[in-house]
Amino acid sequence: MLMAAATKSLALVSYICSRCCWGNSMAKSRPRGISTKENYKVGGRSSKLAKAVFSVDGMTCSPSAGAIEEALRRLPGIHEAVLDLLNNKVQVLYYPSSINEETIRETIEHVGFQATLINVDINERSSADQVCKIHINGMTCTSCSSTIESALQAIPGVQKAQVALATEEAEVHHNPRTVSYNQLLQAIEDAGFEAILISTGDDSISKIELKVDGLDIDDHTVGMIEKSLQSLQGVQEIVIYPELNKVSISYIPDMTGPRNFISVIESTGSSKAMLYPKGKGGREARRQEEVDQYYRFFLWSLVFTVPVFLTSMVLMYIPGINHVLDIKVINMLSVGMLLRWELSTPVQFIIGRRFYTGAYKSLRHGSANMDVLIVLGTNAAYFYSVYSLLRAAYSKDFKGTDFFETSSMLISFILLGKYLEVLAKRKTSDAIAKLMDLTPETATLLALDDEGNVMSEQEIDSRLIQKNDAIKIIPGAKVAADGYVLWGESHVNESMITGEARPVGKRMGDMVIGGTVNENGVLYIQATRVGSESALSQIVRLVESAQMAKAPVQKFADSISKYFVPLVITLSFSTWFAWFLAGKLHSYPKSWIPSSMSRFELALQFGISVMVIACPCALGLATPTAVMVGTGVGASQGVLIKGGQALESAHKVNCIIFDKTGTLTAGKPVVVNTQILKNMAPGEFYVLIAAAEVNSEHPLAKSIVEHAKGFIEDKENPAWPEARDFISITGHGVKAIVENKEIIVGNKSLMLDQSIAIPLEAEDMLAKAEWMAQTGILVSIDGEVAGVVAISDPLKPGAQEVISILKSMKIKSIVVTGDNWGTAKSIAKEVGIETVIAEAKPEDKAQKVRDLQASGYIVAMVGDGINDSPALVAADVGMAIGAGTDIAIEAADIVLMKNNLEDVITAIDLSRKTFSRIRLNYLWALGYNVLGIPVAAGVLFPLTGFRLPPWIAGAAMAASSVSVVCSSLLLKNYRRPRKLDNLEIHGIRIE
């Protein structure tokens, strides 16, 4: 049952990602204007969202909330409805072009509740804060990402800009009324980098691309298609590419879908439409293109560099060949020198052109990146060699040495390093790639009659699924969309989404998640979330957003990057000058100088080596690559971490506050004992209190109602007496009139508040229940206590072991609950927790968090209910149990999707391992530079004669970035603590 609850929680993940972006990128063919020869941009219909908040009288329980939510979901143009039972409010996000707030209010009242409009905020999300995601080419180190961030944040209307070096993407929160995404792209390009739009706008918008034959024939065809699509409700934007026979459509999936578009286009009679073939434009395609590009550059550089290397370092020692290379062309200019010049020039200026471009753009904006170091180092070697070559051509006695092999080999090794780096960086996002690949290619669409009988089946591309479609899932097939089961029974393997290996039973009415695998039976499902709204898409966006966010520790690398390159340039020139001055003053013996060099050339080599061995890239990649892999690994194990901030805070946690009901306990309370104090039958007693409690959302109320079903005949469709004047008293109980009797069900405090005397035998029953870790509920009928109901909520399996493991990790555990002191202390004692706070209101829980923080603790809060939300927000790290409420999940920093307590340990341990890896990465990156720069400067040369040639220094520099990325990739081998595996070995299974 709990695993089924965990499944339901995934439908709530959509609330977590409400600020993420939608869609896939259109690579380099982004539209710039309207109705150009290249493309037509039409429609342009606003995707404005309005927010309306209603006060709802009488909404006191989950059934009533569910009825309102179901009624609102059926309305066209409703994007999202969030119900706040605590404050009796409903927040609705909707499209004003399709529905108005009066219709929404009337719908709530038709369900049976009094609704009052509190406020309306038109265009709340789209005008105030849209999120634009952009892919950026050309970044080499944190100096580049900082430059772009500064350029974007300087634009009026940009609220926040994050640029991630590892993912090569920017996420920009901006006001679309003030700044357009084209301006954002232009700002990035003005900063010297290539910008490709990935997505813009709102996660409620989906995007589809269709191939339409005949678009390039005439403007009349385009116009017909344009008008036809514009007539569809829910279409937001249409971009037509006549040359490619392509139509890109942005739409609201709640209101329309791709099959409608195809039908409308084909109804014009002049065109045939189909889904556009999957091709370039996605993240993986771009990364593969980058890998291929570096690979080609490296191969071409080898073609020229290998002969340069052979002629300068190998062939000159082979008799016969060396004589040919020494043949003088003009004066002292030899064949070998001329050959090396001709071969190294294409490497320097054609293959190495990207370094010049990057350096120029960086310097133009007043910053210096890795490209500046490469250009300075290779230019120094190349142009000094050209000087030597020209002087040899004009002199009959000059014996100069060229360094053409240094410049060409430097560029070759750097290209090799970049190739290996992008190859490794691709693997850091494997988790996202695997999640995106879970969706099946095809689906079986069912046509049902009014009675639910199958009339026909049709195999379609899964991208054509629309909301409310009926889909058939055969055994062994992947579930094609989020939805609920219409017919059939089966077991579904959800491990690819939740990390939970055991299949989950599914029957009519149960939720299923797109991308999971149907194990045995046939299922008919109705699609409820498609495209960008699916749980899988939301999880992917959550992980992507987490990987975009910078951990606070990243500020360390960002601050160093501002001064790193200028400092290295200064050290390089100082090294050259020191060795050159020492040579001029004859401060070292002539024997130190290699026979083929002069003092100047020796000094020049030391200076170049210092310049090219320094590596700012390794520092910039130390944190983001580890965070990318860590969040990806967490997602694969059912632990969703919302960014670097949460990941960094979690590894410092030394105190955890646990809610009791639904967190430490199973959250499935059952009635274990009943004592009736009046002369009445148990059936009559329970029918009366069930009639009152059926209107309450509290888990204890639900357990009483379930127990009462045992006293009636129709257990599936119970008909309880009408409850009038129902009142829910938060944290205490309920009150109602049933069959002309005043029924009060609640705790001792409620009875005393209502001036109801509590007999001694009821007091004894309450004390006994508390001693046995049970919750005692008093029942009053017409002002007299009529009975006591004892309810027990069993501990989650393995709760004791989890608390014990946390103690061994030096983490303090505390229970904070709204339940009574006796039950709270008994539960705490049973699991091994010493500190207990009972009878706590939501604000008390948040205050306890703040008190602990003031005492110096780094606090994590683990909860699952609406009343836990304030504490989840106040804590340094909020952890929401996956089967909890949507509000709790939205408030949390980490979502434990499997509803397992053991995942609290997994989250903290993964965080510790990730930050241990980050520290190791920094140690390697800084240690490499601290040790490498002095060695390159020739510190060891006077004592050992060891000298680091520039090309070897370049190879070492390239290897450092690759080493850091590979170090982060080792996190992919993460395994949760063995102590958790021992729980299963001992027969304890946490669910």
Cα 108 to Cα 15, 67, 638, 697, 733, distances in angstroms: 22, 9, 36, 18, 25
Q: Cα–Cα distance between 49 and 93 in angstroms, integer? A: 6
Q: Is residue 659 among the annotated active site residues?
A: yes
Catalytic residue among 482, 659, 819, 886: 659
Helix ranges (DSSP H) in 791-949: 799-808, 821-831, 842-854, 869-874, 886-891, 902-936, 941-944
Q: Cα–Cα distance between 968 and 973 in angstroms, integer? A: 10
Q: Cα–Cα distance between 405 and 312 in angstroms, integer? A: 7
Q: How many CA atoms lie within 13 A of 306 on its CB side?
A: 5
Helix, strand, coil share of the chain (percent; to 5): 50, 20, 30
Q: Cα–Cα distance between 873 and 92 in angstroms, integer? A: 22
DSSP per-residue letters across 727-784: EEETTTEEEEEETTEEEEEE-HHHHHHTT----HHHHHHHHHHHHTT-EEEEEEETTE
Q: Cα–Cα distance between 203 and 534 in angstroms, integer? A: 11
The answer to whether residues 876 and 858 touch, using CB atoms and an 8 Å cutoff, is yes
Please tell me the total number of residues recorded for the chain in this structure: 991
Q: Is 346 exposed, middle or buried (0-12, 13-18, 19+ CB in 10 A)?
A: middle
DSSP per-residue letters across 547-583: HHSPPTTHHHHHHHHHHHHHHHHHHHHHHHHHHHHHH
Helix ranges (DSSP H) in 314-429: 321-325, 335-346, 353-364, 370-394, 404-428
> 99: alpha, beta or left, given left = phi > 0 and alpha = psi -120 to 50?
beta
CA dihedral 400, 405, 410, 412 (to 10 degrees): 160
- 862 closest CA partner among 632, 699, 655: 655
Q: Is 748 exposed, middle or buried (0-12, 13-18, 19+ CB in 10 A)?
A: middle
Encoded tokens for 357: 């471009």
Give catalytic residue positions.
Answer: 659
